[in-house]
Amino acid sequence: MKYFLIAGEPSGDQLGASLMSGLIHLDPDAAFSGIGGQAMQQHGLESLFAMDELSLMGIWEILPKYRHLKRRIAETAQAVIDAKPDVLITIDSPDFCLRVARLVRAVRPDLRTVHYVAPSVWAWRPKRAVKMAKVIDHVLAILPFEPPLMQAAGMTCDFVGHPVATSDVADTDEATLFRNAHGIAHDAPVVLCLPGSRRSEVARLAGRFDEALMRLRDRVPEIRVVLPTVPGVSTMVREMTRRWPTAPIVIEETDEKRAAFAAADLALAASGTVSLELAANRIPMVIGYDMAPLSRLIVGALLRTDTVTLVNLVSETRVVPEFLGRNCQPGPIAEALQDALEDGTTRMSQIEAMDLTMDRLGKGGEAPGLRAARSVIAAITEPR
């Protein structure tokens, strides 16, 4: 079968690559086209254009590039129509992907459509699912509480597990090698700084995160800060951190990032999927996030939950501290970091919630990419 896939950011690229691997396993004659990053390209996708063009978030961030994105939406929709695939699979990035799906459906109403990653209607804008159902037939959910919400809106939906729950994590030997390679003493606390994978996120959060970490280092001088980054923002991160008084160790290579997570004692991270990666490695964390003023105002008015941190949501606890919007300030963040580093009860509460989260996300089960592939094939072969 022919599959047209669209991913718009690094996390979607990883999901797409795992899905493609599963599809190849179940359908050896699978042919792929669409938009994706390096991970999807390694599985045979020739991207229509660079995925980085779509890695934007927030109304204020999108507005300056709206006309360009609108052209890309039309271009992508036409590419889908011309490719004549058996299914269109859109992966996260709903602002772009669902607009493409809408244009395609107007010309090809018979084409099956699948969306990977349910919209967070549990958090804000619940009517998004109803609107999505007009152009999407089937949803692949990565959180266990999402299928009923999608089904209620008129789409079929399967929980396929979250990739992070079955991903390999580095062991203590790799952690020791990482410390040795970077001259980090065996008893020095390693703190991960994770200000996001989008340029807009890094630009908005990095300075505040640096200030919070400087304050933490004033209290715990022996800490070493490690900043894992991704190709789309690595140049920006390296240039920015040269001016940081905290002088973090910036790493980009995948295996080294795995080892850094194994070596870490604490993390300061932007809100998002990275909290689950930290949970898989049992790293206590503090979450911070902010948007441009207009985006912050709109999202704040529509928010329907008291937490946006996935560990808190999946574990049904509130043990991971988060500082959002105007509350994303260095002083309170530094206090929470010190507590998460030094208070044994705080650390254990987080670790217990992380373990529960991983169990609920499918730890020990079949690979999510393969589960997702089975769900896609079932969805497009069953009669309407």
Same domain, 155 and 11: yes
Same domain, 49 and 99: yes
Terminal Cα distance for the chain, rounded:
18
Same domain, 258 and 371: no
Same domain, 152 and 181: no
Q: What is the pTM of this model?
A: 0.80
Nearest alpha carbon to residue 101 among 150, 149, 138: 138
Q: What would the pLDDT profile of 63-97 be if each residue is shown by its tens digit? A: 567 788 889 999 999 999 999 999 999 999 888 99
CA distance 73 to 94: 12
Residues 282 and 319: beta-carbon distance below 8 Å: no
Q: What would the pLDDT profile of 297-341 be if each residue is shown by its tens digit? A: 767 766 778 898 999 999 999 999 999 999 999 999 999 999 999
Q: For residue 60, is pLDDT > 70?
A: no
Same domain, 7 and 144: yes
Q: What would the pLDDT profile of 93-130 be if each residue is shown by its tens digit? A: 888 999 999 999 999 999 999 999 998 887 667 788 99
Domain membership of residue 317 (yes or no) is yes
Rounded to 5°, the CA angle 274-91-13 comes to 55
Confidence (pLDDT) at 57: 46
Beta strands across the sheet bearing 31-35: 31-35, 2-7, 87-91, 112-116, 138-141, 156-159
Report the run of H or E that residue 249 belongs to, with start and end: strand 249-251
Question: The domain spanning residue 118 has which CATH number?
Answer: 3.40.50.2000
Domain count, the chain: 2
- Structural domain boundaries, residue 375: 2-161+365-381
Same domain, 152 and 203: no
Domain membership of residue 180 (yes or no) is yes
Same domain, 203 and 303: yes
Domain membership of residue 185 (yes or no) is yes
CA distance 155 to 252: 38
Confidence band for 59, pLDDT divided at 50, 70 and 90: very low
Same domain, 218 and 148: no
* pLDDT mean across residues, the chain: 92
Same domain, 122 and 51: yes
Domain membership of residue 167 (yes or no) is no
Same domain, 215 and 297: yes
Same domain, 226 and 333: yes
